[in-house]
Amino acid sequence: MLKIFKSVKEWRAFRQRDQFFGKTIGFVPTMGNLHLGHRALIERSVRENDFTVLSIFVNPTQFNNREDLEKYPRTQEADIRMVEGVRADYILMPEYDCLYPDDYTYRVQESVISKFMEGRSRPGHFDGMLTVVLKLLQLVRATRAYFGEKDYQQLQLVRGLVDAFFIDTEIVACSTVRDENGLALSSRNSRLSEGDYDKAVQFAKILQSEKSSKAVCERLDEMGIEVDYIEDGSGRRFGAVNVGGVRLIDNYDLKVNEKVERE
Ligand code: PAF
């Protein structure tokens, strides 16, 4: 039966139990408002591990914009029902003071990858993300932790984090889950109006279909979609736009596009 921990102290005591000895633990960190993308991560963890731990914590230190933090959808009851349905074992749902006894006086900073794209547009975002992920990885001591490729820069940074700090957790990358129109699932999608949803779908399509990042920018511009960046790198194309006040990010593997064109 699903067990929920709000206290870090109780979780730490529980984690010492013999029942975990010699067993594999999968971990899925989230900020709640769970959708089918999260569900795919949790299901994979349940398949691949003896126990699955999920965290639900809207991490204030990774929001550089107060309004974005306040508007972040909080759907605790529905989230718990979903987690029960996919048979995960434990949820960590700590309060800020419990997870940040230092009140964020200690923090993790990366100085290369975190400086462009999302890092350039959202100063401090990756410091907050890396800090909370380090705390959670230390608490869970998982065999594997599951991250979606939609937040690709985050995934790269978390991989670097476990290498830099010798954390014995394997980081498992999971493909982006899209809706029937190709839009990458995100908690932010629920804030899109009907008209803005159509624009968001166009963003996903154009990002993938145009030959160059410059052509993507031009097409988005023509459609009145505000572009933050469109960049190609590491064999992928990355994009961030603002649609009706909602920030959306996405990325594609350029090699997959080349293969489709050849066929
Ligand atoms: O991807 C997210 O939802 C968050 O950045 C994470 C990894 C849960 C850290 O707060």
35 is catalytic: no
Among protein residues, the one with the nearest Cα to ligand 1's atom 1 is: 30
Q: What residues does 187 pair with on adjacent strands? A: none
Distance CA 234, CA 164 (A): 21
Q: Which domains does the chain have, with CATH numbers?
A: 3-174 (3.40.50.620), 187-253 (3.30.1300.10)
Beta carbons of 186 and 30 less than 8 angstroms apart? no
**Widest pairwise Cα distance in the chain:** 61
Question: H helices within the chain, ranges in order?
Answer: 8-15, 36-48, 66-71, 76-85, 96-99, 118-121, 125-140, 152-164, 194-209, 213-222, 254-262
Q: Atom 5 of ligand 1 has which residue's CA nearest to it?
A: 129
Identity at 105, one-letter amino acid code = T
- Please tell me what DSSP assigns to residue 154: H
Tokens 């052509």 sit on residue: 215
CA dihedral 120, 122, 124, 130 (to 10 degrees): -90
Nearest CA to ligand 1 atom 8: 30
Cα separation, 244 vs 85, whole angstroms = 33
Q: Which two tokens stand for residue 126?
A: 């990756």
What amino acid occupies position 15? R
Question: What is the separation of C-alpha 239 from the centre of its chain, rounded to a whole number of angstroms?
Answer: 15
Q: Which residues contact 126 (CB under 8 A, 6 or more apart)?
A: 62, 110, 114, 118, 119, 153, 154, 157
Q: For residue 105, what is the DSSP state?
A: S
Asked whether the beta carbons of 103 and 16 are under 8 A apart, the reply is no
Q: Is the CB of 171 under 6 A from ligand 1?
A: no
Catalytic residue among 38, 125, 237, 247: 38
- Confirm or reject: Cβ of 83 under 6 Å from ligand 1: no
pLDDT at site 256 = 77
Alpha-carbon gap, residue 247 to 97, rounded angstroms: 28
pLDDT tens for the chain, 263 residues long, are 999 999 999 999 999 999 999 999 999 999 999 999 999 999 999 999 999 999 999 999 999 989 889 999 999 999 999 999 999 999 999 999 999 999 999 999 999 999 999 999 999 999 999 999 999 999 999 999 999 999 999 999 999 999 999 999 999 999 999 999 999 999 999 999 999 999 999 999 999 998 899 999 999 999 999 999 999 998 999 999 999 999 999 999 998 766 555 55
pLDDT value, residue 260: 56
The sign of the dihedral angle between the CA atoms of 53, 252, 261, 206 is positive
| Contact yes or no for 99/57 (Cβ under 8 A) | yes
The reported pLDDT for the residue numbered 257 is: 64
